[in-house]
């Protein structure tokens, strides 16, 4: 990554044609560098590129903008050396991976799958209840780090963080166990738990699927978009999904984790029912198992990207059938069919998940015991 700290304005030609003096910096040098990396990846992904050079600018109002993208930049010196090394590594890794998949018929390497799933609390009057009233910041059940007015004290989003697993079935067991822990921690009977895309205005939430021991690649992210993000969008509540994707849940929304893996963040919070949760977890696992053979890319066309962001489900329905035929053709599908079946059933019937439903009911969680008035034996009335 190279950086110029000049305040001059240049909007055409990108880095290659700039007269600025650039210095090489680490990709995590500061918040601006991290934002530039994220936007660079997103820009390449939106254009369907596996590699390229992206020029990023920071405006006077502190916005991060993409100035230029090219897959064949004019380079020399250190930039040329880095680009050549990265391109050669990409080709070598892709060929090695292809041979391995062809030999085994699927991803031959065991990997770890995990998740964190956000939800919110709603009073009987429909008002937001702070998750931090009941939950700590850290732990298997806790609060997301977004606070009201950035005050660092009032946290509205609850989150379950089940232990990761080597199989989707094991992860589902961990999710159920963590939901039981959440039920024990949130002690109010008259507070509903709600999930989806945006239970309250200005509070988008998501369902993030984590992967470790998996080689990250643009091919894998494209497969996740087409074979996980897209099918899940087809069963999301459209209105709130559109609002959420103005900032979160875009195509190729990934974040790298300290443990070396990454999380896929495009879906809304699919915690709405255990059946939907199970379907998304199993689907995500299947796609990582078979992503080399799941090579249909709907979003190479900008028109389909627009349809995705606007949740134009009717216009995309025929494409869903193409995607699902690819899922059914994998060798793992029969094993997971019962867990996955709710997704095509909902899409074909035009059903979206219900973001108003109380998770305690859909997950059959125990309600806190009612408080009974204590009776004074001495006075024969309520103490």
Using the predicted structure, report yes or no on whether residue 353 has a pLDDT greater than 60: yes
Q: What is the pLDDT of residues 74-115, one digit of tens each?
A: 888 888 899 899 989 999 988 888 888 887 888 888 999 999
Residue 373's pLDDT is 56
CATH class of the domain comprising 113-362: alpha beta
Work out whether strand 375-376 and strand 381-382 pair parallel, antiparallel, or are unpaired.
antiparallel
pLDDT band at 16 (very low <50, low <70, confident <90, very high): low
Residue 20's pLDDT is 66
Query: What DSSP state is assigned to residue 163?
Result: P
* pLDDT (average), residues 285-303: 96
* Distance, CA of 272 to CA of 276 (rounded, Å): 7
Residues 6+ apart with CB under 8 A from 159: 116, 117, 118, 119, 131, 141, 142, 143, 144
Using the predicted structure, report yes or no on whether residue 11 has a pLDDT greater than 80: no
- How high does pLDDT run on average in the chain? 90
* Distance, CA of 270 to CA of 292 (rounded, Å): 25
Residue 4's pLDDT is 80
60 φ, ψ to 5°? -65, -20
Whether the CB-CB separation of 131 and 157 falls below 8 Å is answered with yes
Candidates 323, 284, 309, 305; CA nearest to 117 is 284
Domain spans of the chain?
2-104, 113-362
Residue 146's pLDDT is 87
Q: Of all residues in the chain, what percent carry a pLDDT higher than 90?
A: 69
Q: What is the pLDDT of residues 18-73, one digit of tens each?
A: 556 788 787 788 888 888 999 999 999 999 999 899 999 888 888 999 999 998 88
Q: What is the pTM of this model?
A: 0.89
* pLDDT (average), residues 142-157: 88
Using the predicted structure, report yes or no on whether residue 381 has a pLDDT greater than 90: no
What separation in angstroms does the CA of 235 have from each of 114, 196, 278, 286? 22, 10, 14, 19
């Amino acid at each position: 990554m190279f950086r110029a700290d000049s305040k001059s304005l240049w909007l055409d030609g990108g880095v290659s044609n700039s007269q600025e003096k650039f210095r090489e910096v680490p990709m995590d040098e500061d918040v601006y560098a991290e934002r530039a990396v994220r936007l660079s990846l997103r820009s390449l992904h939106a254009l369907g590129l596996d590699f390229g050079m992206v020029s990023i600018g920071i405006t006077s109002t502190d916005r991060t903008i993409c100035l230029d993208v090219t897959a064949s930049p004019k380079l020399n010196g250190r930039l040329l050396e880095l680009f050549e090394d990265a391109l050669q590594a990409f080709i070598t890794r892709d060929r090695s991976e292809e041979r391995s998949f062809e030999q085994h018929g699927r991803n031959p390497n065991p990997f770890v799958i995990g998740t964190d799933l956000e939800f919110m609390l709603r009073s009987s009057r429909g008002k937001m209840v702070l998750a931090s009233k009941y939950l700590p910041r850290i732990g298997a059940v806790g609060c997301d780090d977004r606070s009201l007015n950035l005050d660092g004290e009032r946290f509205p989003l609850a989150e379950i963080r089940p232990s990761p697993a080597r199989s989707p079935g094991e992860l589902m067991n961990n999710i159920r166990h963590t939901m039981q822990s959440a039920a024990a921690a949130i002690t109010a009977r008259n507070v509903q738990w709600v999930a989806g895309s945006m239970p309250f205005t200005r509070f988008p939430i998501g369902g993030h699927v984590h992967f470790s021991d998996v080689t990250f690649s643009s091919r894998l992210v494209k497969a996740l978009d087409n074979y996980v993000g897209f099918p899940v969008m087809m069963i999301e509540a459209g209105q709130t999904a559109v609002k959420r994707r103005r900032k979160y849940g875009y195509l190729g929304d990934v974040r790298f984790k300290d443990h070396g893996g990454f999380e896929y963040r495009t879906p809304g919070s699919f915690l709405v029912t255990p059946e939907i949760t199970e379907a998304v977890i199993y689907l995500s696992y299947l796609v990582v198992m078979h992503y080399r053979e799941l090579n249909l890319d709907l979003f190479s066309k900008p028109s389909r990207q627009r349809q995705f962001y606007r949740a134009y489900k009717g216009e995309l329905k025929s494409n869903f059938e193409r995607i699902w035929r690819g899922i059914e053709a994998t060798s793992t599908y029969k094993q997971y069919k019962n867990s996955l079946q709710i997704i095509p059933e909902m899409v074909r019937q035009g059903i979206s998940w219900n973001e108003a439903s109380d998770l305690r009911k859909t997950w059959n969680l125990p309600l806190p015991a009612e408080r009974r008035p204590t009776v004074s034996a001495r006075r024969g009335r309520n103490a």
